[in-house]
Amino acid sequence: MPRTDLLERLTIQTSEREHVKLLRRLRVIDHAEGPWLESDGRRLLGFCSNDYLGLAQHPQLIAALKRAADDEGVGSGSAHLICGHRREHAQLEEALAEWTGRERALLFSTGYMANLGAMQALLARGDLCVQDKLNHACLLDGAQLAGAELKRYPHADVEAAARQLATRPDAAALLATDGVFSMDGDVAPLADLAALCTREHATLMVDDAHGLGVLGADGAGSVAAAGLGQREVPVLMATLGKALGCSGAFVAGPAALVEGLLQFARPYVYTTAMPPALAAAACTAVEIARREGWRRERLHALIARFRSGAVQLGLPLMDTPSAIQPLLLGDAQAALDAAQRLEQRGLLVGAIRPPTVPQGQARLRITLSAAHEDEHVDRLLDALAGLPHGSPPGRHV
């Protein structure tokens, strides 16, 4: 038998995906301005970005980026542990630790790498890693990279999580969950998970990519909103690319955690530090996110406006307090058709299909931002009212 040609096999897999109409396509955005996106000569009102506080184009962030780039140039030139760790990184880490109420924080270039790095450093081969079935892909990948035994529990089911932990009472165990689930927008039962982990001597890790900046007094995230601190949630990860409008991520927790990650997290050690100018912009973003509570209030007012309108229209809304407001349509083609109809009306909404979500749970993933205006939400509701929609499967209000 001749050896399998890898490119040929990949090409076949791609065409199979096209055949079942699940092919992904890139879209070039020529210009972004607030919630508006220009693509293919058209101006579209976007409800698909994770820029929840409308900070990505804030003049103060841009000014901080420019100032630091003028002083320090673009690239950091090296990994953190060689000579890439600049004053801007150190300041950002301090600001993030203070905000989240942790002893220390460690920057990573992306959230994907932060999760891979934290799990690979914490978990040894054969350890137990218990996770919510709807966790973000990189948490699942992180457990696999670490060689841990991955056991998943049905979404938000704390008793099922307890049963998974009980299968191996003697194993070292990490329980990892999204704080706010990225495709569903709901919040994990954090207080109950924390109590379970304390009882079972498991370590709790929360990925708060969609909670930081959005939930909690001061925007400190879903963990703070649940009244939990570093003791209950020793491993807290969040990103800078969503509500903070920048790019990158961090893991925060006890000094011993951060010191250990610095030694052993390979996606931290063996990669170039993020540009210092980006760290400077992110530092400004943290200040604004904390100080300007009106951005959160504005966002939550828009969420409330959208939800009450959607309820009136009988739309298949899910029970979520976050900026992520999915409409569950079920069928992948139905989600794609709905997104296309919205686009014809000048609105850009993401159609999320398997394998990103489970089979039969395709949806429109609508995200709101403090940059939206009331009238934008009304336009969206208007367009949604014109869509055909049947009775959806799964959870809805």
Ligand X SMILES: *Cc1c(COP(=O)(O)O)cnc(C)c1O
State the residues that interact with ligand X by CB under 6 A: 110-112, 115, 136, 138, 178, 182, 207, 209-210, 239, 241, 249
Compute the least distance from the CB of residue 136 to ligand X, in Å.
Answer: 4
Compute the least distance from the CB of residue 141 to ligand X, in Å.
Answer: 10
Which among 114, 393, 61 is positioned nearest to 246, based on CA atoms?
61
* 182 is a catalytic site residue: yes
Beta bridge partners, 325, equal 366
Q: Which is nearer to ligand X, 72 or 184 (CB)?
A: 184
Compute the least distance from the CB of residue 274 to ligand X, in Å.
Answer: 11
Q: How many CA atoms lie within 13 A of 373 on its CB side?
A: 6
Q: Which is nearer to ligand X, 100 or 239 (CB)?
A: 239
Bond into 355 cis (ω within 30) = yes
The phi and psi torsions of 112 (rounded to 5 degrees) equal -60, -45
Q: Which is nearer to ligand X, 47 or 334 (CB)?
A: 47
Residue nearest to ligand X (CB): 111
Helices (H) and strands (E) in the chain, counts: 14, 14
Q: Tabulate helix, strand, coil % of the chain (nearest 5).
A: 45, 20, 40
Compute the least distance from the CB of residue 241 to ligand X, in Å.
Answer: 4
Compute the least distance from the CB of residue 181 to ligand X, in Å.
Answer: 8
Q: Which is nearer to ligand X, 151 or 210 (CB)?
A: 210
Compute the least distance from the CB of residue 50 to ligand X, in Å.
Answer: 7
**Catalytic residue of the set 49, 76, 109, 182:** 182
Q: Which is nearer to ligand X, 222 or 284 (CB)?
A: 222
Which among 102, 82, 84, 86 is positioned nearest to 94, based on CA atoms?
102
**Catalytic residue of the set 242, 372, 376, 389:** 242
* 31 is a catalytic site residue: no
Q: Contact 178/209 with Cβ under 8 angstroms?
A: yes
What is the token pair recorded at 386? 């014109």
Q: Which is nearer to ligand X, 182 or 367 (CB)?
A: 182
Q: Contact 371/301 with Cβ under 8 angstroms?
A: no
Which ranges constitute the DSSP H helices of the chain? Answer: 6-19, 59-72, 87-100, 111-122, 137-146, 158-166, 190-200, 222-225, 255-264, 266-269, 276-291, 293-313, 332-344, 374-385
Burial of 363 (0-12, 13-18, 19+ CB in 10 A): buried
* 133 is a catalytic site residue: no
**Catalytic residue of the set 89, 136, 151, 210:** 210
Tell me the catalytic residues.
182, 210, 242
